[in-house]
């Protein structure tokens, strides 16, 4: 569960169409046409989905807004989201692609923003990887509306798989730099991107984990302050090579929970009937932090400092794992 239960809305699907073979756009509005709660660039909603086994679950989707009109998202008449199909996932994206139809009413939490656009003195450098472009569209529109410096580096496997290119070209013109792997023959050159940044520029990065890891590693190597790099990971935790099963001992009640090689500690605890706090499931928010009494932690989050990781006293259970065979948690 989350620390507090957000308010939910019942929204009707007014439009559903494929932007390309992998990405489906959905337009959601109130059935009575009323204005919806406002949001700011970078905000997301959680949408209730149905998994193949029939159980309900939630998925995060960033709100897309390409308008530069004043207060365009203050009391919107609709929310626009884009869903990338993941055939290897648990089934939430397949539900959104294959089962959700125009006219259907869906349960949606009110918008929240954990990826705020601040106001750098220099340029806001937006770095998008694939479907990670969605929260950055609104950031680009806001900077243009404010007359503030902005440029975007948008990377994808091919232009045919990159959503919202026409909208971004109309907004950013020469300030949009498109990188298609199949054209360049290589991934986005992060070093060159950073070479073009001034000391007052700030990065806003959203995309897959390899992109974010590369940006964080290279800005750290250059001595950038962490506050200059704002990010959101646009993917849940995935199984990595060498992941293995292990057990977790809950010190407060003595129970032992088995964690499978392809399962997070969080999901194993939920399956065991526990009720841990969590939110993002991507290692970004810090909500699921749990004290560790014993065990060697494989840290995979983006929350803890290096000194906290070295101390080994806390773990983000949504994404981090055990290097050995046993963890003892203060739960």
Q: Is the pLDDT of residue 307 over 90?
A: no
Inter-residue contact 30 to 78 (CB < 8 Å): no
| Partners of residue 13 on adjacent β-strands | 28
* pLDDT band with cut points at 50, 70 and 90 for residue 88: confident
Identify the CA nearest to 316 among candidates 275, 256, 266, 274. 266
Q: CB-side exposure of 22: number of CA atoms within 13 Å?
A: 14
Q: Does residue 1 surpass a pLDDT of 70?
A: no
Instruction: Look at residue 92 and tell me whether its pLDDT is greater than 90.
Output: yes
Average pLDDT over residues 197-201: 96
pLDDT per residue over 5-45, tens digit each? Answer: 579 999 999 999 999 999 999 999 999 999 999 999 999 99
Convert the pLDDT of each residue in 49-75 to its tens digit: 999 989 999 999 999 999 999 888 999
Question: What pLDDT score was predicted for residue 2?
Answer: 41
- Measured in degrees and rounded to the nearest 5, phi and psi for residue 69 equal -65, 145
Q: Residue 236: is its pLDDT beyond 70?
A: no
DSSP H or E segment with residue 143: helix 134-146
Q: How confident is the model at residue 238 (pLDDT cuts 50, 70, 90)?
A: low
pLDDT in tens, 244-281: 999 999 999 899 999 999 899 998 999 899 989 887 78
Which of 51, 61, 115, 63 minimizes the C-alpha distance to 267? 51
pLDDT band at 234; cut points 50, 70, 90: low
Report d(CA 96, CA 274) in Å as an integer: 28
Q: What is the reported pTM?
A: 0.82
Phi, psi for 64 (deg, rounded to 5): -100, 130
User: Average per-residue pLDDT in the chain?
Assistant: 92
Rounded Cα–Cα distance for residues 218 and 315 (Å): 25
pLDDT attached to residue 283: 81
Residue 98 φ/ψ, nearest 5 degrees: -100, -25
pLDDT band with cut points at 50, 70 and 90 for residue 192: very high
- Residue 214, pLDDT above cutoff 50: yes
Dist. CA 193–CA 219, nearest whole Å? 11
CB burial readout 301-324, b (16+ within 10 A) else e: bbbbeeeebeeeebbbbbbbbbee
**pLDDT of 98 strictly over 60:** yes
pLDDT per position as a tens digit, 72-83: 899 999 999 999
pLDDT in the model for residue 281: 80
| Tens-place pLDDT, residues 145-180 | 999 999 999 999 999 999 999 999 999 999 999 999
106-126 residue pLDDT tens: 999 999 998 999 889 999 999
pLDDT-based confidence at 303, cuts 50/70/90?
Answer: confident
Residue 116's Cα: distance from chain center in Å? 13
Distance CA 260, CA 47 (A): 27
List the domains of the chain with CATH numbers: 8-109 (2.40.30.10), 124-233 (3.40.50.80), 246-329 (3.10.20.30)
């Amino acid at each position: 569960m989350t620390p507090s239960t957000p308010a939910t809305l019942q929204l009707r699907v007014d439009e559903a169409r494929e932007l390309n073979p992998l990405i489906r756009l959905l337009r959601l509005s109130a059935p009575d046409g009323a204005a919806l709660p406002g949001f700011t660039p970078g905000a997301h909603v959680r949408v209730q989905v149905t998994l193949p086994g029939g159980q309900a679950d939630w998925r995060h989707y960033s709100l897309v807004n390409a308008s530069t009109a004043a207060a365009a998202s203050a009391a919107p008449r609709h929310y626009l989201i884009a869903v990338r199909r993941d055939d290897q996932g648990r089934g939430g994206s397949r539900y959104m692609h294959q089962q959700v139809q125009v006219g259907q009413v869906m349960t949606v939490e009110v918008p929240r923003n954990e990826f705020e656009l601040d106001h750098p003195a220099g340029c806001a450098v937006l770095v998008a990887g694939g479907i990670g472009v969605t929260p950055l569209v609104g950031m680009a529109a806001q900077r243009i509306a404010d007359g503030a410096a902005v440029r975007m580096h948008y990377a994808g496997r091919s232009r045919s798989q990159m959503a919202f290119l026409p909208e971004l070209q109309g907004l950013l013109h020469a300030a949009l730099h498109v990188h298609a792997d199949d054209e360049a023959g290589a991934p986005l050159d992060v070093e060159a991107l950073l070479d073009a940044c001034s000391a007052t520029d700030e990065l806003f990065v959203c995309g897959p984990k390899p992109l974010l890891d590369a940006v964080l590693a290279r800005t750290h190597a250059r001595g950038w302050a962490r506050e200059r790099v704002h990010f959101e990971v646009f993917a849940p935790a995935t199984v990595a090579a060498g992941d293995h099963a292990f057990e977790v001992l809950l010190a407060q009640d003595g129970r032992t929970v088995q964690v499978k090689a392809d399962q997070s500690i969080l999901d194993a605890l939920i399956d065991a009937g526990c009720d841990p706090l969590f939110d993002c499931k991507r290692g970004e928010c810090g909500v699921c932090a749990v004290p560790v009494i014993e065990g060697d932690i494989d840290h995979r989050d983006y929350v803890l400092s290096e000194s906290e990781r070295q101390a080994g006293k806390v773990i983000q259970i949504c994404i981090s794992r055990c290097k050995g065979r046993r963890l003892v948690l203060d739960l």
